[in-house]
Amino acid sequence: MLQLQGVTYIHPNRDLLFSNINLNINKHDKIALIGNNGTGKSTLLKILAGKLKPTTGLLRTAEDPYHVPQHFGQYNNYSIAEALQVSDKLASLAEILSGNATEENLTVLNDDWTIEERCATALAYWNLSDLDLKQPLATLSGGQKTKVFLAGIIIHQPQLVLLDEPTNHLDSYSRNIFYEYIKSTKNTLVVVSHDRTLLNLLNSVCELSKNGIASYGGNYDFYTTQKTIATEATNQVLKNKEKTLRKAKETERESIERQQKLDAKGKKKQEKAGLPTISMNTLKNNAERSTAKMKGVHTDKISNITEELHQLRLTIPDRDKMKVNFLDSDLHQGKVLVNAITVNFGHEHRLLWKNDLSFQIKSGERVAIKGINGSGKTTLIKLILGQVKHTLGTIDSLVTKVIYIDQDYSSINNQFTVYEQAQSFNVALREHEVKIRLSRFLFTKEYWDKPCGALSGGEKMRLILCSFTINNSAPDFIILDEPTNNLDIQNLEILTDTINQYKGTLLVVSHDEFFLEQINIEKTINL
């Protein structure tokens, strides 16, 4: 159905993104395309969609694919009809029905007389019946925009569908509708996603990296099992190689010491024998050459083993290299931190919640706020933090030392460099200690002078977590608002590991049930 042969893509600034990609996609395949941020997943998807041309290599396809893009506001000037690629047909149909049945209008419509009905059916499927096809995308929420592009699958009925982060911004209800489509469809699918529930519904995984593309014949759980086996094997080889290096260095030391003792004994014998000075110098030079030759052999061996170790360490996943050391909260378990009694927000005649909210959050609890898009999840966080004032009821909060990671990572100053951002949280650490903390969170020296505005979402999330470890103040409360949006799988796993090492109170807004299960949520506030 679709084939890539030797595909390479080089950015206009001449940076190589990936090279020599070979991939065969067969009819009815359901493929997950995964990889770290920056490896080129979205670019490769655009090449498959025919929206980008590879620098070198061939693309062969027997079908016109339908592409569901990841959106960052770049389509806001489109109408819904334009986003769905039906505006010309709808305009021609309207002209024909008004009596202007020109050859041009008939050609554009191409006998697609049911286009209006299919648009209505598709929008209704995604609970968007109240939208007007002429409405600008800029007026829609993130979830509504995603659902508009997904509606195009019903309208165009393609055989090959390419989806880029399709569950981003979708609430739990809409995600479940989408999962049912994935399970039931006969379409051929290529999906870029970090949504582990979705990835487990696909029957093969392709991992894109700087080394090319590797295929795994199973779902995401199968892939992680294979990667774990490979990583454990690499770690064992690494341990053995480190042991070999230690042994080689010990052997070098022992050999040199032995040679030095022999040389010293030989020199004494020569002195006793009363050899002429010229003979003594010749023997001395021979001994030095012998020692240098022996040392050179050991140095070469140690150098080779050290290089092998370096190459092995490069293959270890970054998640395994990262070290997190959150201090534990000093609040005793079970202390009431938030007490809300019949709380609501809005205007007297237009309140946000149909039923007033009453709940408690205690120290040490792990709580999720759930609800469909627009149900007021972020507003509730702002009420808890005292950033907005409630309209009804009472809310008492003892939350003081808090990490709040919102959807825009607003605690990051985009004008700062990475080092300046970390330093802004510094209380008592010296410069080299701050840089050690940055390295623990995978910000090597190449990052220290990089502007924060150039970081990906996952990198910003890691920098926020790093900054709070630099602060050396144990947070009583961590609040995460849709933390899994726009994170690649590597950074998702890093976030999960970090949260699971934290012993304080956690409040999370997320539609990602897989993530909520992994971080052991024990209580839910439903809106």
* Three-state secondary structure readout of 381-395: HHHHHCCCCCCEEEE
- Provide the pLDDT for residue 162: 95
What pLDDT shows up at residue 201? 96
Across the range 20-25, mean pLDDT stands at 91
Q: Give the model's confidence band at 150: pLDDT under 50 very low, under 70 low, under 90 confident, else very high.
A: very high
One-letter amino acid for residue 31 of the chain: I
Asked if pLDDT for residue 149 goes beyond 80, the answer is: yes
Mean pLDDT of all residues in 494-520:
88
Whole-angstrom distance, CA of residue 479 vs CA of residue 252: 54
Q: What share of the chain is helix, strand, coil (3-state, %, to 5)?
A: 45, 20, 35
CA separation for the pair 390, 347 (Å, rounded): 10
Lowest pLDDT segment from 103-112, 326-335, 429-438 = 326-335
Buried b (16+ CB within 10 A) or exposed e, 445-461: eebbeeebeebebbbbb
Average pLDDT over every residue of 17-32: 91
Question: What local confidence, expressed as pLDDT, does residue 293 receive?
Answer: 65
Q: Where are the alpha helices (DSSP H) in 471-520?
A: 489-501, 513-518
Between residues 79 and 16, which one has the greater pLDDT?
A: 79
**What integer best gives the mean pLDDT of the chain?**
84
**Cβ distance 405 to 393 under 8 Å?**
no
How do strand 212-216 and strand 366-370 relate by DSSP bridges? unpaired
pLDDT of residue 328: 57
**Global confidence as pTM:** 0.71
pLDDT tens sequence across 402-417: 888 887 788 888 899 9
Q: What is the pLDDT of residues 185-197, one digit of tens each?
A: 999 999 999 899 9
Q: What pLDDT digit, counting tens, does each position of 450-459 carry?
A: 998 888 777 8
Q: How many CA atoms lie within 13 A of 31 on its CB side?
A: 24
- The distance of Cα 506 from the centroid of its chain, to the nearest Å, equals 21
Contact in structure between 403 and 464 (CB atoms under 8 Å)? yes
Top-confidence residue, 141 or 31 = 31
CA-CA-CA-CA torsion sign (11, 17, 20, 25): negative
Lowest mean pLDDT across 8-12, 88-92, 280-284: 280-284
Rounded to an integer, the average pLDDT of 488-511 is: 85
Residue 89 to residue 108: CA distance in whole angstroms: 6
- The residue written with tokens 């509606």 in the block is 151
Containing 360, the helix (H) or strand (E) segment is: strand 357-362
pLDDT digits (tens, 9 = 90+) for 363-398: 889 999 998 887 888 899 999 988 889 889 999 988
CA geometry: angle 393, 478, 320, nearest 5 deg? 160
Nearest to 19 by CA among 4, 3, 1, 37: 4
**d(C-alpha 470, C-alpha 232), whole Å:** 31
Average pLDDT over residues 456-465: 81
Of all residues in the chain, the percent with pLDDT exceeding 70 is 87
> DSSP string of 185-221?
--SEEEEE---HHHHTTSSEEEEEETTEEEEESS-HH
pLDDT of residue 323: 56
89-128 per-position pLDDT tens digit: 999 999 999 999 899 999 999 999 999 999 999 999 999 9
With cut-offs at 50, 70 and 90, classify the pLDDT of residue 325. low
Q: For residue range 40-49, what is the model confidence (pLDDT) as tens digits?
A: 888 999 999 9
| Sign for the pseudo-dihedral over CA of 125, 126, 131, 133 | negative
Over 70: is that where the pLDDT of 263 sits?
Answer: no
Residue 268 confidence (pLDDT): 65
Spatial CA neighbour of 465 closest among 455, 452, 475: 475
Q: How far apart are the first and last CA of the chain?
A: 45
| pLDDT tens per residue across span 289-324 | 666 666 666 677 778 777 777 676 666 555 555 555
Pairing of strands 477-481, 402-405: parallel
What DSSP letter does each residue of 417-481 carry, written as one string?
BHHHHHHTT-SS--HHHHHHHHHHTT--TTTTTSBGGGS-HHHHHHHHHHHHHHTT---SEEEEE
pLDDT (0 to 100) of residue 264: 67
Task: Find, among 83, 87, 88, 53, the residue nearest to 68 by Cα.
Answer: 83
Q: Residue 440 pLDDT more than 90?
A: no
Highest mean pLDDT pick, 110-119, 168-177, 228-237, 329-338: 110-119
Contact between 142 and 458 (Cβ < 8 Å): no
